[in-house]
Structure 1
Amino acid sequence: MSQKNETLPLILSLLVTLLLLAGGIWWFGRNLGFGGVGIGQGGSPSTSSPGQGGGAGRISDRLSTGAQLLFPEGASSQKQAAVQALANRDYQGAIANLEASLQANRNDPEALIYLNNARIGDQNSYTIAVAVPTATSANSALEILRGVAQAQDEVNRAGGIDGVPVKVMIVNDDNSPDVTPQVADALVKDRSVLGVIGHFGSDATLAAAPVYEAGRLVMISPTSTSVQLSGAGQYIFRTVPSDRFTAAALSRHMLERLRVQRAAVFYNSQSAYSTSLKNEFTTAVFSDGGQVVGEFDLSAAGFDSVASFDQAAQQGAEVLVLAANTATLDPALQVVAINRRRLPILGGDSLYNPRVLQVGGESAVGMVVAVPWILLADPNAPFVRSSRQYWGGDVNWRTAMAYDAAIALIRAISIGKTNRAAIAESLRSNADTIEGATGVVRFLPSGDRNQAMQLVEIVPSQSQFGYSFYPVSQP
């Protein structure tokens, strides 16, 4: 009897403790901002990198015109001081510190964007946003930002749009389909934003596209190639050719230059980009008279590169096609290593990555990759010369496509001004001739860009990794 009397108070005590603990967790979450969603930039500087913990966090922490660093790693003391100054609206102090930071490191697009924004200060301006994965794919994000930063700087140096400068908001979206719709919703609701350049990966872009379409805000992706994006809406565009163009270029190279007919394709079934490229290549090569004899999922649990390669060889594969995305680059490189140059290898634009040169090494020599643009194809073009002056080195196709997206959007704003619908109509109708980094930028009714892909080959060189991508000579 006494044991029962003691058990009841213990149970009640435990329940009270759990209730207090739950209340404490709720209070901390509410007051420290976990999970909240907001618009705007906030009044205090931050050097956080939202998204590294895996959650969406506060959307306001992902948006910055200069009052917070989205690339805090390695930021100079001058750059950090500039962010503090911008948060306090001390524009002259921010300008001085950002100019000093760029003197030490001119290859920093975030600093150049913030410098142009600081020069604008509280003046009237036209705002565009650029959405990139600053925390999860920093190198790719910086490549895209260089194109946007250069376009902004050139336009503002030339007097802006009828005397009104262009301001750029940088957005960190983690390249996450869970985050991009939230980011898109925040940008749609911010009426100062007249268009968005982004997003990076096809999955992230496809997740955000319906939000932009419903909110009637232009989105131009410089890097998303999935055919699912074609015809996604009247406000959805891209400056990079779709996977259909990539597949056609690879198929022709396989059948006409390599003179082989049987391919094995390695892809990621969880990626819209990777699946799109695999499907388009299969269709193209079949139409051209070849065939795909095997498909291997790089994302499958327990993927075995040795067993997969052996199976592809047994099935009569004469060429390997790597339709990997960034997330499956490592298993794709395992296939490259196992192959040891026994079979020729073809790849999509995600393989245009320094890691392929660094890790692939000698085994990757001869690999042919389809890209929208490569500097060495026209090394004396105006954009090539100007980009070298800006960044102190050569840029890649992501920078060029982002530049084209920014120039196209800015030109459309010059026609539509603050009317979002008029901006979209200007792009759809190709109302103006837009000369970009890679030629004239014109959009098909689907929102796609009508432009062929270029093929590059990995060759030995005197570069940092001992290997480089070099244009494939035309037959």
Structure 2
Amino acid sequence: MSQKNETPVLLLSLLITLALIGGGLWWLGRRLNINPLPDITQSNGTEARIPATLQDRFSTGERLLTQTASRDKEAGVTAIANQNYNEAVRAFEASLRETRNDPEALVYLNNARIAEQPAYTIAVSVPLATSIEPALEILRGVAQAQEEVNQQGGINGVPLRVLIISDDNNVETVRQVAESLVQNESVLGVVGHFGSEATLAGAEIYNQQGLVMISPTSTSVQLSGQGNYTFRTVPSDRFTATALASYLLDETGEQAAVVYYNAGSDYSTSLKNQFTTALTTGGGQVVEEVDVSDASFNADRSLTQAAQRGAQALVLTTNTPTLDQALQVIRANNRQLPLLGGDSLYNPRVLEVGQADAEGMVVAVPWIISSNLQSPFVQSSQSLWGGDVNWRTAMAYDAAAVLIEGLRQNPTREGLRQALSDPSFEVEGATGMVRFLSSGDRNQPMQLTVIQPGTRSGYGFDFVPVR
């Protein structure tokens, strides 16, 4: 045979060899879980890629996002990464028998049950690495909604997959997350983000690119009317401020207040400004504003100055990252002046650390479990998690319920936006009927709680309804 005739045969042999080698490397990479860009299957069978710089923050079950895990949970993650879904289901079920209140494990379990079936995907973005307790509270709401809808047969027969994202509540990270999500066509809606400044950063991108975002916890008035794709299930700071100002003026009879806030937080600044307006409108006055994020902040000194200015009450509009400073004020006050706080102060650490110094403090929240003990959501959540849930879980459940109902009406990004924007849209959630104003806000009053001795929390004190 001539060399001329041998050339095509040799080239063909070379191509076949390269293909076999490439296929073998691909198979080995999948088995060893070293694929640098994990696939997320869309409901139409196509694939979307996560940028390598963000891959450690995203998971549908192929990696852990929390810091600690049982051996069974780790086994479940490994099984999903290797596409061994039956083993993953077994492992996550075992993990949940050991730690039943783990929402990450429940989400991964439901995703493993879906395996490679077509599914509708929503994302939930929370600060798992920086604010673990609030993040888990939000995840419990989303996980419960996913569990319920999938147990009922899915959304018009299609199961719901949840993509969990750890965003640190960091503005720049949230921007990167939002950019990735809008490019991932499998994601039809987003539950998030946690803090108002992070949510505002994401909202700009989601609105530009046409992806619905529903925040269960961001209350800044700046979010109102941000765009057609921005919604929230938690009432805005305007409702919180009005409730606190009315209580101060009508129930305590006091009119002069010192307000503590974090100047670096949109949430905290928004609530401070709204409270000042509400108190002034009602005939009271804010005699001093104290920025707890200032390096020179001293709780004892601030109380001395408050007394000099004739303060009759202390109002904490601080946010979660400045909870320690708020606790310093609570301790230094020693129940001398009435204490009021925004929803960020509805935190178990206030009960654990504040103890008797926090007794009598009034905190405004969008929902409290002790006022809703007989509701179907509370009954289901207690059965699922083995204990009480708080307002963040309830609002996150509502956010997921909204996305589920919207997808039931029209399972596309634009169809979801149209469904939620319809004035007749409503869905029964954990906290009652969820409807949206044209601004994307939810029209719902706040509830007032007071810290009193009790046994429900395990810390000797509980948040209970004011009336």
**Pairwise same-fold verdict (TM > 0.5):** yes
Residue aligning to 1:275: 269
Alpha-carbon distance, 1:182 to partner: 0.3
Tell me whether 1:415 sits opposite 2:412 in the alignment.
no
Residue aligning to 1:426: 419
Question: Does the Cα contact within 8 Å between 1:42 and 1:60 map onto a contact in 2?
Answer: no
- Equivalenced residues, count: 422
Cα deviation 1:26-52 (Å, max 9, x = unaligned): xxxxxxxxxxxx996369xxxxxxxxx
2:435 maps to a residue whose letter is R
Residue aligning to 1:41: 38
Residue aligning to 1:436: 429
User: C-alpha separation between the residues in 2 aligned to 1:122 and 1:359?
Assistant: 47
User: C-alpha separation between the residues in 1 aligned to 2:271 and 2:89?
Assistant: 45
Q: Say which SS state the counterpart of residue 178 (structure 1) adopts.
A: helix
Residue aligning to 1:338: 332
Among candidates 217, 225, 230, match of residue 231 of structure 1 = 225
1:198 maps to a residue whose letter is G
Q: What RMSD, in angstroms, separates the aligned Cα atoms of the two structures?
A: 1.5
Among candidates 275, 287, 296, match of residue 293 of structure 1 = 287
Residue aligning to 1:255: 249
Question: Does the Cα contact within 8 Å between 1:62 and 1:172 map onto a contact in 2?
Answer: yes
Q: In 2 relative to 1, CA 40–420 (structure 1 residues): closer, same or farther, beyond 3 Å?
A: farther
1:412 maps to a residue whose letter is G
User: C-alpha separation between the residues in 1 aligned to 2:324 and 2:106?
Assistant: 33
Among candidates 134, 155, 163, match of residue 157 of structure 2 = 163
Tell me whether 1:450 sits opposite 2:447 in the alignment.
no
User: C-alpha separation between the residues in 2 aligned to 1:263 and 1:41?
Assistant: 53
Matches within 5 A, 1:192-207: 192-207=186-201
5+ residue gaps in structure 1?
A: 1-37, 44-55
Among candidates 60, 72, 86, match of residue 78 of structure 1 = 72
Q: Say which SS state the counterpart of residue 452 (structure 2) adopts.
A: strand
Alpha-carbon distance, 1:409 to partner: 0.7
Q: In 2 relative to 1, CA 352–191 (structure 1 residues): closer, same or farther, beyond 3 Å?
A: same
User: C-alpha separation between the residues in 2 aligned to 1:328 and 1:172?
Assistant: 20
1:145 maps to a residue whose letter is L
Q: What is the TM-score when the length of structure 1 is the normalising length?
A: 0.87
Residue aligning to 1:62: 57
User: C-alpha separation between the residues in 2 aligned to 1:182 and 1:392?
Assistant: 36
Deviates further, 296-305 or 275-284 = 296-305
2:215 maps to a residue whose letter is S
Matches within 5 A, 1:375-386: 375-386=369-380
Alpha-carbon distance, 1:57 to partner: 8.2
Matches within 5 A, 1:4-19: none
Alpha-carbon distance, 1:431 to partner: 4.2
5+ residue gaps in structure 2?
A: 1-34, 41-50
Matches within 5 A, 1:131-210: 131-210=125-204
Calculate percent identity across the aligned residue pairs: 59
Alpha-carbon distance, 1:453 to partner: 0.3
Q: In 2 relative to 1, CA 175–153 (structure 1 residues): closer, same or farther, beyond 3 Å?
A: same
Residue aligning to 1:49: none
Question: Does the Cα contact within 8 Å between 1:41 and 1:63 map onto a contact in 2?
Answer: no
Q: In 2 relative to 1, CA 192–39 (structure 1 residues): closer, same or farther, beyond 3 Å?
A: farther
Among candidates 449, 460, 464, match of residue 458 of structure 2 = 464
Q: Say which SS state the counterpart of residue 171 (structure 2) adopts.
A: coil
Tell me whether 1:89 sits opposite 2:83 in the alignment.
yes
Alpha-carbon distance, 1:304 to partner: 1.3
Among candidates 356, 368, 381, match of residue 374 of structure 1 = 368
Among candidates 239, 245, 253, match of residue 239 of structure 2 = 245
Cα deviation 1:194-217 (Å, max 9, x = unaligned): 000000011111111101111100
